[in-house]
Amino acid sequence: MADIAMPKIASSLLLRPTLLALAAAACASAVAQERTQTLSEVVVSASGFEQELKQAPASISVVSREELEKKSFRDLAEALQNVEGIDVRGGTGKTGGLNISMRGMPSEYTLILVDGRRTTPAGETAPNGFSEAQTSLIPPLSAIERIEVIRGPMSTLYGSDAMGGVINIITRKVSKVWGGSVQLEGSLPEHSEQGAAQKGSFYLSGPIQADTLGLTVRGSMYNRDASSIAPPTGIAASQLKGLAPPKSKQQSLGARLTLTPSKGHELWLDADTAKTTYDNRNCDLGTLDFVNCTTGAGTTTASGYADEMQFNRDQVALGYKGKLDIGLLETSITHSENATKGRTLPTEAFTNRNDPRIGQARLLESTSTTYDAKLVSPLGERNLLSLGTQYANTKAVDGVPSLRGGSAFKQTTWALFAENEWSITDSLTATGGLRYDDHNKFGGHWSPRAYLVWNTTDMLTLKGGISRGFRAPKVNQIMDGVIGLVGQGTTITLGNPDLKPEVSTSTELGMLFDNLQGWTNSATLFHNDVKDKIVGSIRCDSADRITGCAGYPNTATFSMNRDTGKTWGLELGTKYVLSPQWSMGANYTWTDSELIEQGVVVGKLSDTAKHVASATLNWTPNSQWSTWLQAEYRGKSRRFDNAPGQMTATEAAEYAAMGDLKGYALLHLGASYKLSQNVTLSGTIHNLLDKDFHQYTSVNGTWYSNYFKGGRSVKGTASDGRTLWLKANMQF
């Protein structure tokens, strides 16, 4: 995709508070009034077909396009950061991106879909702490109709990886008349050391032949300048990895062609390409080959990183949707390719330290072809049966294993599932489902679920159920021999063919209340029990040594099924229309967890904070102006993986002095003005009170952060200081 040139706005404006206030007012007021999420809203992700939100057999939240237009966000995690049950601030990746954790489950248990199609690669194409890069490869805002978030396992419908929850990005349908939009955005950080950003996107949709053939084209580009935040004396720059991200660029381009040969039948073809590029010349992402990043002097060691990294995804899908006499049939075939560029073959990967291939490009690719089919058919007047199948063929290639006799990692899976929704009475519905997945490496797996929805009155709905979820190991994890390196290319990682899928059993009980006059409330209790959790970084000199360690150094590491875990908590949400001009919404999530090893609680299952809350107040004085004020709170979270009694002496000393990572509260203010029927100007001040996350405490001469813990991966996060975000949306 060609670069989109965008003008930069002089950051000096923010040096003068008066001009900051004028800029905020001039662009002022926010977006359209936040739409109240009524219980009659239609969703598709909970059962695979359209149904009212209150009838959905799952805990589900919907983020509408109107709500998304209020925000400025770089990736999917930022777009969902204020949804109940979600925590995106538990950790920060090396690229500065955020991971998405649901109900205290690790982020790898969250399945991300676009129109029901997987975007998560089956193979490990972004090893060593770059998995969060995938959340930036999403369609542009202007192409998104809504985002549906299901909290809790959905393996019965979606298979592996849907153990913690599902995020389904629903894109807009092809328009019956030609139209579109162009959106330009830019950020102005008050503190110049925090990189400014510029963003542009477009959307065009309309008929090629009326009522028969339609076309949609979409695209976006996001640039962020490098952050120059420097650590104080006594803190290594590596401790800020991900918190001071380098210069980056995100690009996406996609198109969808829809053919309607006759009423009730639709054929579609969708193609999408996306890539994200990061500058690594200053070793922000990893140690450069043959360079000492501290002194700049040359070395003889290749650590596995080039001066630029790129994460790519290409996807093409062909599908059919038709209304038949027996029901609604949907079929599709999707081919996806994921690749990481900018990784190299490190010295440690070779037995011959003079091998001429040292430092050459490392191939990291994953390809998958998936066929899906689903039939939704009524059985009498009170049953709605869904039958489906899925077949997937996946191949992952890594240049490191091939050096030691390895080959491409391949796997095939197929699945059958059935789910029935039974209307026992007009107010009571029972849903039961069962899925069987067959994997060519570890065999078959069953995923059942059962759910009840009871509309006690027009205003009160009670719902609850139990479900089983599972997550299969990555295709490369179950291969024998070397599958990669960690520690800046210094430590070998081995596969383990004996790995089994992780399994969870989840229960929930919820309540939805709508007074039918603009006030909605929800409350949900949940409990997750995880078995056979895959634990990595186990050394070959440990008591758990596997046979695959033979011939490799004791420092080599591997993964195995060893731990169990539990999470439990409460989710609360409310929305209230106070008057035609005023409305508000708030949610709160309380989460706790345990990680259990051989019957002993050794820590938490994830980095999720125990208390997370947000609240938004909207004011729309007239049809042109809108403003909003949002508060968010994140309580303290763990500093170390291990519980206090399981820490090393060094960790225990730091924990005794610092405790857990501190909690914090932030305020954001936004406004928009409808300049004309087709032009809207918006502005947002993020971190209104300029909360400083780069605060450190000295303990015996060593400095530690109050809000994050750096290292191989970063726990916690450091939000930017006060930043003004300006946006212009032009429709045509």
Place of tokens 């390719």: 337
Whether the CB-CB separation of 651 and 69 falls below 8 Å is answered with no
Q: What is the mean pLDDT of the chain?
A: 88
Contacts by residues 228-236 (CB-CB < 8 Å, ≥ 24 positions apart): 228/192, 228/193, 228/195, 229/193, 229/194, 229/694, 230/193, 232/696, 232/703, 233/703, 234/698, 234/701, 234/702, 234/703, 235/696, 235/703, 235/705, 235/710, 236/710
Structure tokens at 389: 């199948």
Q: What is the mean pLDDT of residues 649-677?
A: 93
Q: What is the pLDDT of residue 182?
A: 96
Q: What is the pLDDT of residue 151?
A: 93
Q: What is the pLDDT of residue 27?
A: 35
Please say if the pLDDT value at position 602 is more than 50.
yes
Q: What is the pLDDT of residue 59?
A: 93
Q: What is the mean pLDDT of residues 4-26?
A: 34
Please say if the pLDDT value at position 10 is more than 70.
no
Dihedral sign from CA coordinates of 545, 547, 552, 558: negative
Residue with more model confidence, 123 or 478: 478
Residue with more model confidence, 10 or 200: 200
Please say if the pLDDT value at position 35 is more than 90.
no
pLDDT tens digit sequence for 110-148: 999 999 998 877 667 777 778 777 777 788 888 999 999
**Residue 77, CA distances (Å) to 81, 112, 169, 398, 422 in order:** 6, 11, 12, 28, 35
Residue with more model confidence, 244 or 586: 586
User: CA 391, 310, 293: angle at the middle one, nearest 5?
Assistant: 135
Whether the CB-CB separation of 246 and 280 falls below 8 Å is answered with yes
Q: What is the pLDDT of residue 9?
A: 34
Residue with more model confidence, 588 or 228: 588
Residue with more model confidence, 38 or 149: 149
Please say if the pLDDT value at position 30 is more than 80.
no
Q: Predicted confidence band at 492 (pLDDT cuts at 50, 70, 90)?
A: confident
Q: What is the pLDDT of residue 238?
A: 62
Q: How far apart are CA 110 and CA 102, in angstroms?
A: 7
Q: How far apart are CA 143 and CA 175, in angstroms?
A: 11
User: pTM to 2 decimals?
Assistant: 0.88
- Three-state secondary structure call for residue 152: coil
Q: Predicted confidence band at 8 (pLDDT cuts at 50, 70, 90)?
A: very low
Number of H helices, E strands in the chain: 6, 39
Q: How far apart are CA 277 and CA 95, in angstroms?
A: 10
pLDDT tens digit sequence for 243-274: 888 999 999 999 999 999 999 999 999 999 99
Whether the CB-CB separation of 663 and 648 falls below 8 Å is answered with no
Q: What is the mean pLDDT of residues 665-686?
A: 96
Q: What is the pLDDT of residue 73?
A: 81
Q: Which of 198-207, 511-520, 534-543, 666-675 has the lowest mean pLDDT?
A: 534-543
| 3.90.45.10, 3.40.50.720, 2.40.170.20, 2.30.40.10: CATH of 29-731 | 2.40.170.20
Q: How far apart are CA 398 and CA 476, in angstroms?
A: 9
Q: How many CB atoms lie within 10 A of CB 197?
A: 22
Q: What is the pLDDT of residue 402?
A: 66
Q: What is the pLDDT of residue 53?
A: 84
Q: Which of 82, 59, 74 is nearest to 634 (CA)?
A: 82
Q: How far apart are CA 34 and CA 668, in angstroms?
A: 15
Q: What is the pLDDT of residue 18?
A: 33
Q: Predicted confidence band at 14 (pLDDT cuts at 50, 70, 90)?
A: very low
Please say if the pLDDT value at position 71 is more than 80.
no
User: CA 378, 381, 382: angle at the middle one, nearest 5?
Assistant: 85
Q: What is the mean pLDDT of residues 15-34?
A: 34
- Three-state secondary structure call for residue 560: strand
Quick one: what percent of the chain has pLDDT higher than 70?
92
Q: Predicted confidence band at 699 (pLDDT cuts at 50, 70, 90)?
A: confident
Structure tokens at 599: 């019957």
- Three-state secondary structure call for residue 608: coil
Quick one: what percent of the chain has pLDDT higher than 90?
61
Place of tokens 């971190």: 687
pLDDT tens digit sequence for 390-415: 999 999 888 887 666 556 788 899 99
Residue with more model confidence, 574 or 703: 574
Q: What is the mean pLDDT of residues 166-191?
A: 94
